[in-house]
Amino acid sequence: MTETAVSMIQELKVHGRTTNERAPLTLFWTASGFECNVSGTELWVEVEVTYDIYEPWFSYTVNGDWIGRQMLLPGRYWIPMFRGMNPEKIKNVRFYKDLQAMSGDGNSYIHIHALRHDGVFYPVEEKKLKIEFIGDSITSGEGLFGAKEEEDWVPMFFSALRDYACLTAKELDAEYRVFSQSGWGVYNSWDNNRNSAIPKYYKEICSLMPGEENERLGGNQPHNFSTWQPDVIVVNLGTNDVAGFDQPEWVDEITGERHKMRREENGSFCKEDVNAFKGAVADFLKTLRECNPNAQIIWCYGMLGIPFQMSIMEGISSYMEKSGDQKVSYLQLPNTDETNVGSRQHPGVLCHKQAAEVLVGYIKQIL
């Protein structure tokens, strides 16, 4: 058996937004990880895991089949990917980070140091299509494990391989990345926090992770968009912005700033706040186009209801009229009901499959 640092394996394919550092390779986002084609009878991966509150989970596939999933404990150690297999046959192995970047735990990371093997590495074929998925808990795969009655907010109930992003990419044979955070929106979070808005962090590698460790790892560095340009961007935001209308006012403990999505006396949404949301939609589309000049941008919505559907569509129309950008569209996804709900009152596996089916058909149509 040979131990090879990942920085020395030129054939290794890195997935997900990360830094240029490969000693070790740090995984920030949902579905980030690595992929390799390797011969030999065995393959092991050396991981280093840290966290204070939320332990990372990972899944892995061999030749496209989902072989394992487990919780990772703190420390640096070796994990087997396969053993006892045909030494001559080339195996495709992919390692997925199951858990999203945890903005509530600045020390929750997976680092990949090395691979132990008795074979030879071969290049991974490049996909013809690249897709970026941007969203909230739905895109992070929250609620895709666990019984329907589960309500605990724990890493165990997140999945990178059961969500609509993975299913869509697999069906289209596409390379994909995920940029998502549970509870966040395009304008504010479910609890009215204006700092918890995805667009504020899009231009950095992973700046929503707090603390000195993220600074040291390079998460706050600007992301070089030229290194990976998606053909399609799928945005699935708006669900948490609506939730703010029924939550208490948010107060910033440091600055004293206050924010609340308000309702009128008759129960309708406050027009001023709705307009602010529409403006945030248009502004984010402008940012996405600046960073990704040629991508088709699809704004999806509907897996947990459509109360903001018209507002999203009006925000999109406003942007398109001002910019002349014709490569932006809206797509309604199937809703969650009693037949397809998962844990934590989130869309379940069936709902994600239904959403992926709709999305796959639409992407094929526009491309």
Handedness of CA 350, 351, 355, 361 (dihedral sign): positive
The domains of the chain are located at 2-122, 130-366
> What does CATH list as the number for 2-122?
2.60.120.260
* Mean pLDDT across 3-28: 98
| The predicted structure's pLDDT at residue 259 | 96
Where does the pLDDT of residue 42 fall: very low under 50, low under 70, confident under 90, or very high at 90 and above? very high
What pLDDT sits at residue 212? 96
Average pLDDT over residues 269-278: 98
Sheet with 232-236, strands from edge to edge, namely 175-180, 130-135, 232-236, 296-301, 328-332
**Confidence (pLDDT) at 323:** 98
Q: Tens digit of pLDDT for each residue in 137-191?
A: 999 999 999 999 999 999 999 999 999 999 999 999 999 999 999 999 999 999 9
Enter the tokens of residue 64.
């496209």
Mean pLDDT, the chain, rounded, equals 97
When the candidates are 3.40.50.10140, 3.20.20.70, 3.40.50.1110, 3.20.20.140, the CATH number that belongs to 130-366 is 3.40.50.1110
pLDDT at residue 80, rounded to an integer: 98
For position 248, what pLDDT does the model report? 96
Helix (H, G, I), strand (E, B) or coil at 64: coil
CB 330 within 8 A of CB 281: no
Cα–Cα distance, 267 to 245 (Å, whole number): 10
> Binning pLDDT at 50, 70 and 90, where does residue 246 land?
very high
CA-closest candidate to residue 280, choices 230, 325, 245, 237: 237
